[in-house]
Amino acid sequence: MRYKLFGKHTGLRVSELVLGAGNFGTRWGHGAEPDEVRRIFDAYADAGGNFIDTANGYQFGQSEEILGELLAGRRNDFVLATKFTMGTDPKAGILVTGNSRQAMVASVEASLKRLKTDRIDLYWVHMADGVTPAEEIVRGFDDLARAGKILYAGLSDFPAWRVARTATIAELRGAVPIAGLQVEHSLVERTTEHELLPAGHALGLGVVAWSPLGGGMLTGKYRQGEKGRAEGFGGKVFQAENSAQRTAILDTLIAVAAEAGVTPGEIAIAWVAAKGSLPIIGPRSLAQLESNLAAANVTLTPGQIARLDEVSAIPAIFPYTVIDDAGNRQAFTGGKFDQVDGPAGPVA
């Protein structure tokens, strides 16, 4: 396992594959029993993994509870990330859900108890609630950081314009910076590439990508009659093979995997990593973990990436239909677009 710096606002060194803990527990009716979770966790640690991602609501709090037991005696070996916004159980009330400081404080205290720790290394807003101002989120994060309850802050499932605004407010106020961005990204969910990934990279955020396997669809297992998340999570966090393009994507993925002598899942995870994100793997069994970890040893060739890019391509959206127009590019570079050496990455 290799290690990456988590964005440009931290010196945090994290493993190239993140262990997602959504399947840690069975209170959702689908997941892994504690003994299997321990085997998964230990194997991930033995492979050099050090970045754990959970949430207060995963398995109605059981995920955090199990992690609290597993981290005993080795807490400082891991970067521990959790989230707030969603309720921990179905009865969670209006004051402990959403993005408000009230919900943030109530949630962090409860998570610390379940995780049996004195700090959360990376605290995510799980998703935008559409009503809490960025200023309130920034102030809440900063208060928790100053109290020593969190070290880093991040945004998950936010619109790009809100990511930019929140990160800028934190920067201008000298508050704890927005250090991370979490998004869905895979060969069957590439709309993230329109705005979110460029924003994250341009703002220097550490970007992690959930569901790099499309909820398992990109392993090809559903073609073999397996059910997995297609039924286990009631169809949530799952991308179906429901279009001609998606069938072509999976066909190409299987072909590339056969040529490389690896599994389609390994290729799918490696493709996400090649785009500059840290893939979150979410195994439900030790066998799934071992298959996921093997992706760290896969290096795609430029030709393989090009084939996968082409078959999974999505239509451009405004304003990129204008900005990337060949004629316009020549117009705003005085006819010398092909002679200009641009920046290595997106510019904020």
CA–CA gap between residue 156 and residue 75 (Å, rounded): 24
- Alpha carbons 194 and 216: distance in angstroms, whole number: 24
- Which amino acid is located at 273 in the chain? A
The DSSP code for 13 is E
First-to-final CA distance of the chain: 31
pLDDT for residue 231 is more than 90? no
Q: What is the C-alpha radius of gyration for the chain, rounded to an integer number of angstroms?
A: 20
Q: Is 80 exceeded by the pLDDT of residue 313?
A: yes
> What's the mean pLDDT in 171-187?
98
pTM, 2 dp? 0.95
Pairing assessment for the beta strands 13-15 and 3-5 based on DSSP bridges: antiparallel
Closest-CA residue to 171 (of 9, 7, 12, 11): 9
**Mind listing the pLDDT tens digit for each residue in 68-108?**
999 999 999 999 999 999 999 999 999 999 999 999 999 99
Instruction: Please tell me the distance from the alpha carbon of residue 305 to that of residue 271, in angstroms, as a whole number.
Output: 7
CA separation for the pair 185, 312 (Å, rounded): 12
pLDDT attached to residue 230: 62
Q: Which residues pair with 25 in a beta bridge?
A: 32
What is the spatial distance between Cα 311 and Cα 328, in angstroms, rounded to a whole number? 27
Q: How far apart are CA 245 and CA 58, in angstroms?
A: 32
Query: CA-CA distance, 189 to 123, in Å (whole number)?
Result: 25
Q: How much helix, strand and coil, in percent to the nearest 5, is found in the chain?
A: 45, 15, 40
Average pLDDT over residues 118-122: 98
Decide: 205 and 152 in contact? Cβ < 8 Å: no
Pull the structure tokens for residue 347: 């510019």
Kindly state the percentage of the chain with pLDDT values over 90.
Answer: 93
Rounded to whole angstroms, the Cα distance separating 81 from 121 reads 6
Could you tell me the pLDDT band of residue 224, with boundaries at 50, 70 and 90? confident
Residue ranges and CATH numbers for the domains of the chain are 3-314 (3.20.20.100), 316-348 (no CATH)
According to DSSP, residue 143 is labeled H
Task: State yes or no: is 58 an active-site residue.
Answer: yes
CA distance 128 to 158: 5
Select which of 44, 58, 123, 222 is catalytic: 58
Q: Are 56 and 110 spatial neighbours (Cβ–Cβ below 8 Å)?
A: yes
Tell me: pLDDT of 235 over 70: no
User: Which of 27, 17, 104 has the alpha carbon at shortest distance from 64?
Assistant: 27
Q: What is the pLDDT of residues 265-310, one digit of tens each?
A: 999 999 999 999 999 999 999 999 999 999 999 999 999 999 999 9
Tokens of 150: 């969190």
Chain centre to alpha carbon of residue 59: 18
